[in-house]
Chains A and B, each alone.
Chain A
Amino acid sequence: MSHYLKALIDKREVLLFLALKDIKIRFKFSTLGFTWAFISPLATMIILSLVFSFIVRFGPDASPYPVFLLVALLPWTYFQLSLNHATTSLLDNSNLIKKVYFPREIIPLGAIISNLFDFSVSLLILGVFFLAFGQPLTAWALLFPVALAMEIVFTAGIALFLSGLTVVYRDIKYIKELLLLFWFYASPVFYPESLIPGWLRPFYFLNPMAGILHVFRASLFYGQAPSWPVFVYTLIAAVAMLVWGFRMFKRYEPLYADLV
C-alpha cells in the first residue's frame, strides 16, 4: 500500500492536470460556462424547498428549510456527480489506457478531484443563503474541512471500486444509478434525522453517507458537536472503504487495457 501511495504522490501533477482538463472541457464550450455549477444545485434546491416548505413540513429542526437542505444537498450532489464521472472514467479514457502506461487510479481520482471544483463553486450559494436567512455559524463550523475530507475519502473508495468493476462488468453503470436513487432516500439529505425512529438509528448510521451528512449538518447548520460515536464510526468506515476500494481496483488493473 505504501509504495502505491508513493507512486501516487509522484504522479500528483498528472492528477492535477487531468482534473484541470476535465474542468476546462466541461466549461469551455458551453455558453453559460461556470454558471452551470450554480444552476443545477440551485434548481434542485428550489424544487425541494417548494415541496418541503409548503406541501410537507418537517418542523422546527429543519428550518429555515432552504439552508437546512443546502447544507446536506451540496455534499450529496458532490458524491453523486463524482460517482457518475468516475464510474465510466476508465472507459472514457480508453485511448489513453490502451496506449500509455501510468498508474490507472489517477483517472477515477482525477474525476473526483475535478468535481471538487464544482463543489467549491456551489459553496458560494450556500454562503449567500446563510447571509440571506441570517443563519449564524458557531466554532463547530471548523469541522467542515474534516467532514469534507471524510466525504472525499469515502467517495474515492467507492469510485475506485466502481470504476474498475465497470470495465469488467458493464452493467455496473446501471446498477450504480439504482443504488444512488435508493441511497439518496436512505441518507438525511432532504429530511431531518429526527424522523428516524430510535430503534432504527444504529442501523441507519451504518451508512457512512448518513454519518458524513450528519457531521456537515451538525457543524454548519445546528452549530453543535456531532454525535461522536457516529463520527468515529464514519471516519473508520470511510478509510476502510478507501483501502478496500483501492485493493479491488488494483486487483482488476491488469485487465483494464485489454477490456476498455
Chain B
Amino acid sequence: MANANVPVIQLQGIGKRYLLRQDGRYWFRDLLRRATGHRIEHNHLWALRSIDIDVFKGETVGIIGENGSGKTTLLRLLCNVTPPTEGVMTIRGRVAGLLELGAGFHPYLTGRENLYLNGSILGLTKREMDQKFDQIVEFSGIAPFIDQPVKNYSSGMYVRLGFAIAVHIDPDILVIDEVLAVGDAEFQQRSKSKILEFRDLGKTIVLVSHDLTVIRDVCSRAYWLDRGEIREQGGIEQVTSSYILSFASRLGFLTLSRGPVTLVFEKGKLILFWNGIELTKNSCLSTFLMTQTSWLFSEQAWWEVENSSEWRFTAVGRWKLIPVEQRWTVELSDEDEILWTHELRAVHDVEFTNDTINLRLTDRYQHWWTGTQDGDFPSEFLPSAAQRMLIDAVDDAIGARGFQLGGLSVPGISLQARTPDGLLVFQVLNTESHLRSRDLQVTRAAGMTRYPAGTVLQTQVRIRLHVTGNGAEHLTRRG
C-alpha cells in the first residue's frame, strides 16, 4: 500500500455530470410521466470531464482554476461525498476532507458537544477523542468558550474549532478547500504552518485555493482546471505562472513582452515573468510611502495608462488620501533589462517620508548581494517582523543570485537606482512569514519632509536579469 510507485490517489478518465433541472431536483411529475411511458429530457452539465490525476504518497498538490472550473467537485469526489459519473477512481488511505470548516456543527450544542459529534462523524472514536480533546481545544484557542453553545461564537471562533478538529483526525490524505481564506491573519498563519507540518510528516495533501501564494508556499505540483478539464499540470511555479498570465490576458492587463521577459502591469504593481515563470511574488514590483498617519501603497491608487507601445508604457496613479501623483514610465529596453522612471509629484503641499520602491521576489531566491557584501537569505521566516539583512547601506545596486527550478536555470536579478533629488538607501530583507518573500528595496533617505506643490521627485530604476553567471559577476568584478 505504501509503495512509493503506486499513486495514493489515482483518477483515470473521471467525469462528473450534474442534473440541471429545476433546482437539480427530480419531481414527482417525472415519476408519473415515466410510469406512463413518457421519456424525460434532462439538461446535464459535465462539471468534470476526462480527468487523469496521479498523486503519490507524501506529495503536496495544488488545484487551481477559476470559479466554476470544477475544483470543488473534484474535492468532493476525492472525499467520497459524491461518486463520479464515469471513470475509475482509486484512493489508498484514510482521507480527511476539509471542504468546509465546522460543517455539521449544530448552533444549539456547545463547543464540547459539537467536537465529540463532529469527531465521530469524521472518524474518531470516543476514546481517541477523549485523548485528543485538550489538544484540539488548545489548538483552537477558544478554551474559555468551549462550554458555550456555538451559536454564540463569532465566525472566526467557529472556523478555528472546525479547523482544530479536522487537523487532529490524523489522516493519510488531507483534502483542503479554500480553508485558509477564512479567519484572521494570525489564524491563517497558524493553519498554514499546520499544513506545512503535515507535509513534513510525509502526509499527502491536495489543496484548493484562490490564494496562489498559499498554493506556492505549500505545494510542489499543481493542476490547473479550466471548465471541467485539466488545462495544464506540472511544477508549481510553471502552472501558477501560466495561470496568472492567462488571467492577465483575459482581463486585459497591460502586458509587455520581449524575448523571455514578460511584464504585466496591474493597478500599481508590476509582475515579472521569465520564460513563463513568475520571478516576483505577492504584491510584486510596487512602491509605497508613509504619511503622518499611514502607509500608502501604489496598489491603493487609482491608475490610468497614458500611453503604451510594444515595449513601453506610461501610467499615472493618484491616491485618494494625499495629493500626490505618481507617474511610472516602464520600458523593456532589452531582453534582460527593464528601465523604470518613477516620479512622485506633489499636487498640493504635502508631507511624507519613506518613499520606497519594492521588488518582492519569490522565496526560491536563496542568496543576495550588493556592491560590497553578500549572504544567504535566512531559510526561516519570522511570523511578526521582516528581517533586514542589510540596513542603511548606501550603494548603487543590490541583487539576488539565480536558482535551479526543475532542471531550469532561473536567472539572477538586480536592482539599480539613482535619483537627482538626494540619497537612496538600499535594503535586502525577508518578509514576515505569511508573505514568504525576499524584498529588494530602495528608499529615499529623507525624514518626514514637507514638499511644496509642484515638487517632482524622480528615481531612475534599472532592473536586470543575469541569465549567465547568475549575477555573481558583479562580485567577481569587485574582487
Contact = CB atoms under 8 A, between A and B. Distances in A.
B108 A29 contact: yes
B113 interface: yes
Given A100-B79, A100-B103, A21 B27 contact: no
Contacts of A257: 76, 81-82
Interface string A95-110: 1111111100000000
Contacts of A14: 120-121
B78 to A, nearest CB: 10
Interface stretch (B18-26, B252-260, B360-368, B382-390): B18-26
Given A100-B103, A101-B80, A258-B19, A17 B25 contact: no
Contacts of A170: 25, 27-28
Contacts of A28: 108
B99 A258 contact: no
A113 B24 CA distance: 31
A21 B19 contact: no
Interface residues of A, number: 28
B99 A24 contact: no
A172 B28 CA distance: 8
> Among A25, A97, A98, which residue has the most Cβ atoms of chain B within 10 A?
A98
Interface string A15-37: 00110110011001100000000
B104 interface: yes
Nearest to A106: B121
A18 B80 CA distance: 21
Contacts of B24: 258-259
A21 B118 CA distance: 11
A233 interface: no
A86 to B, nearest CB: 18
Contacts of B113: 21, 24
Given A17-B117, A100-B103, A168 B81 contact: no
- Helix, strand, loop or mixed for chain A's interface? helix
Interface string B278-306: 00000000000000000000000000000
B25 A101 contact: no
B104 A100 contact: yes
A18 to B, nearest CB: 7
Contacts of A172: 28
B117 A25 contact: no
A172 B108 CA distance: 29
B116 interface: yes
A170 B26 CA distance: 8
A169 B117 contact: no
A28 B24 CA distance: 35
Nearest 6 CB-CB pairings of A with B: A99-B103, A171-B28, A96-B104, A101-B80, A257-B82, A99-B99
Interface of B: 18-19, 24-28, 30-31, 76, 79-83, 95, 97, 99-100, 103-104, 106, 108-109, 113, 116-117, 120-123, 125-126
Given A28-B108, A100-B81, A169-B28, 8 more contacts: A13-B125, A13-B126, A21-B117, A24-B113, A99-B81, A100-B99, A258-B19, A259-B26
22 contacts: A13-B120, A13-B125, A14-B120, A17-B117, A20-B117, A21-B117, A24-B108, A24-B109, A24-B113, A25-B106, A25-B109, A28-B108, A95-B103, A98-B76, A98-B103, A100-B81, A100-B99, A101-B95, A171-B28, A258-B82, A259-B24, A259-B25
